[in-house]
Amino acid sequence: MNPVTNKIYVANDSSNTVSVIDGVTNGTTTVAVGARPYMVAVNPVTNKIYVANYNSANVSVIDGATNGTTTVPTGGAPSWVAVNPVTNKIYVAGNTVNYVTEIDGATNGTSSISVGAGPWGVVVNPVTNKVYVTNYSGNSVTILDGATHDTTSVLSGPRRIAWS
């Protein structure tokens, strides 16, 4: 959800689309994205919406003002996406690779950051600029410094993760 624009974004896995719901009128618009959209994250500051397309190995970037899209390759099978609205960096976990893709929200340029085996979930703490990645196959959580890309691993049995 984008609390600034009052729009809600829903990934439609079987139709390769995202539904945009207007929070005032409940009217909907459909936006075409990549194959098997799995997870959606919103940057309310830039009004950009990031959709992890599991079967396309990419992320669709939706412009919230126009619903136009851009595609950013990520590799792997992107399962989760998280946004740091303070730094305008987007983090994508692809569970068939051992890295997360960091997308620069200003340029859509990417870099790969090594984490544990089978990254699945990812969340960002924008206050500390820390990124937490669950490594399902690696049985760990990687804590990533968003500024330096330094990592630390903590053991657990992870798959999903949440931050509030």
Residue 146 has pLDDT above 80, yes or no: yes
Domain of residue 138, residue span: 7-155
124 lies in some domain: yes
Average pLDDT over residues 9-31: 97
Mean of the per-residue pLDDT values of the chain: 93
pLDDT of residue 82: 97
163 lies in some domain: no
Residue 157 has pLDDT above 70, yes or no: no
Average pLDDT over residues 63-69: 98
94 lies in some domain: yes
- 85: domain CATH number is 2.130.10.10
DSSP string, 30-79: EEE-SSSEEEEEEETTTTEEEEEETTTTEEEEEETTT--EEEEE--S-EE
Cα end-to-end distance, the chain, whole Å: 15
For the chain, what is the domain count?
Answer: 1
How many secondary structure helices (H) and strands (E) does the chain include?
Answer: 0, 15
- Comparing 158 with 138, the larger pLDDT belongs to 138
Q: List 154's β-bridge partners, or say none.
A: 141
pLDDT band at 75; cut points 50, 70, 90: confident
Q: Which range among 51-65, 104-118, 127-141 shows the weakest confidence by mean pLDDT?
A: 127-141
Q: Cα(63)–Cα(31) distance, rounded to whole angstroms?
A: 10
In tens, the pLDDT along 22-49 reads 999 999 999 999 999 999 999 999 999 9
72 lies in some domain: yes
161 lies in some domain: no
Residue 68 has pLDDT above 80, yes or no: yes
